[in-house]
Amino acid sequence: MNEDSKRDRLTAVVDIFTDGSCLGNPGPGGWAALLRCGSKELELHGGEAETTNNRMELTAALRALEKLSKSSAVCLTTDSTYLQQGITVWLPRWKSNGWRTSARRPVKNIDLWKALDAVAHSHQVHWTWVRAHDGHPENERVDQLARASIPVPS
């Protein structure tokens, strides 16, 4: 067995489940992530007073990947087609087009996309989409946590 095979065999897969939520769009929003490696779990969450749902979706994935202390094999599950399609399909085109869309407009949320792109390159990430509110236990869990993390206006 060569060294690469040994390393791949010993690398644990980290499952990450993410979600973002927003009251109004824009409006106050929350994000959440559940990281699972074997029997260990970690919940992350936060919120912003004025944001968009897409920014919260990106923030959840970014914060989760940033939490990993070493290069990992990751299965990241999201209910956001914006996140899943953005990172797997649109991002390479945006980069080759100077961070412009096919309509030649600047990419929205470029700060988060650039940060997510940089941190994702440190890992082997498989991006998976699931339908929202369809009974997926972990997706329901992060949805509830994201909603609970929305700052309440005073």
Q: What is residue 152's predicted lDDT score, i.e. its pLDDT? A: 86
SS3 annotation, the chain: CCHHHHHHHHCCEEEEEEEEEECCCCEEEEEEEEEEECCEEEEEEEEEEEECHHHHHHHHHHHHHHHCCCCCEEEEEECCHHHHHHHHHHHHHHHHCCCECCCCCECCCHHHHHHHHHHHCCCEEEEEECCCCCCCHHHHHHHHHHHHCCCCCC
Q: What is residue 10's predicted lDDT score, i.e. its pLDDT? A: 44
**Burial environment of residue 35 by CB neighbours within 10 A (0 to 12, 13 to 18, 19 or more):** buried
CB 93 within 8 A of CB 31: no
Residue 10 corresponds to which amino acid? L
Q: What is residue 11's predicted lDDT score, i.e. its pLDDT? A: 65
For the entire predicted model, the pTM comes to 0.91
Q: What is residue 87's predicted lDDT score, i.e. its pLDDT? A: 97
Instruction: State the chain's maximal CA–CA distance in angstroms.
Output: 61
Dihedral sign computed on CA atoms, order 30, 87, 64, 136: positive
- The series of mean pLDDT values per 10 residues for the chain, 154 residues long, is 46 92 96 97 97 98 97 97 97 96 95 98 96 94 98 82
Residues assigned a catalytic role: 19-20, 57, 79, 133, 143
- Classify domain 12-148 by CATH architecture: 2-Layer Sandwich (3.30)
Q: What is residue 153's predicted lDDT score, i.e. its pLDDT? A: 75
Measured CA to CA, the distance from residue 58 to residue 42 in angstroms comes to: 18
